[in-house]
Amino acid sequence: MRAATKPPRVTAIYPGSFDPITNGHLDLIERGCRLFDRLTVAILRNETKQPLFSVEERTEMLREVVGCYPNVEVDSFEGLLVDYASRNGATVLLRGIRAISDYEYELQMALMNRRLRPEIETVFMLASEAHSFISSRLVKEVFGLGGNITGLVPPPVEVRLRQRFGRSQES
């Protein structure tokens, strides 16, 4: 059943794969943590996907870059997102929308999540113009093919990518 009043403290979950975190994700975290009392960045543990970074590595990178925000924490989850949110007392799911192409998928997920747990609300934030073209998938592809990704990911992530792809600082 829906709560009739606003809870005294609003916890939001920002879920995703974050493989790896980009400056687009970080922008959303920075803006999102001003709206909610607590923001949990939750990494999906998905055995079927073959990620570049393990959940543990992604957690480390995220903690490194969100450490300056006192109301942001990093966690991981498996199973249904709404069940995880409910277990953690969250009433909001935060998602970013970059372009109209994101909308259809996000709409489907939001409606399904609402059907599963109507008391949990999905809140969408628009990506900043400067970040609207960035995705983890493209960052990995461009970097893997020798392209420059400076400014697209936080510096600690660029360091990890260099290590993973065996590239020096200069290249």
Contact residues toward ligand PNS (CB under 6 A) are 15-17, 44, 80-81, 109, 112-113
Judge whether 49 counts as a catalytic residue.
yes
Task: State which residue, 22 or 143, has the beta carbon closest to ligand PNS.
Answer: 22
With left for phi above 0 and alpha for psi between -120 and 50, is residue 79 left, alpha or beta? left
* Residue 140 known to be catalytic: no
- Are the C-beta atoms of 39 and 33 separated by less than 8 Å? yes
Q: Minimum distance from CB of 50 to ligand PNS (Å)?
A: 13
Whether 131 is catalytic: no
Residue from 58, 95, 131, 136 carrying the catalytic annotation = 136
Nearer to ligand PNS, 50 or 168 (CB): 50
Nearer to ligand PNS, 103 or 148 (CB): 103
CA dihedral 13, 127, 44, 39 (to 10 degrees): -20
Choose, from 38, 98, 164, 167, the residue flagged as catalytic: 98
| Spatial contact of 42 and 76, defined as CB atoms under 8 Å apart | yes
Q: Is 98 a catalytic residue?
A: yes
DSSP string, 67-115: TT-TTEEEEEE-S-HHHHHHHTT--EEEEEE-SHHHHHHHHHHHHHHHH
Nearest residue (CB) to ligand PNS, 80 versus 99: 80
Comparing C-alpha atoms, which of 132, 166, 134 is closest to residue 150?
134
Minimum distance, C-beta of residue 51 to ligand PNS, in the bound complex (Å): 10
Q: Which of 6, 34, 49, 115 is the catalytic position?
A: 49
Q: Catalytic positions, please?
A: 25, 49, 98, 136
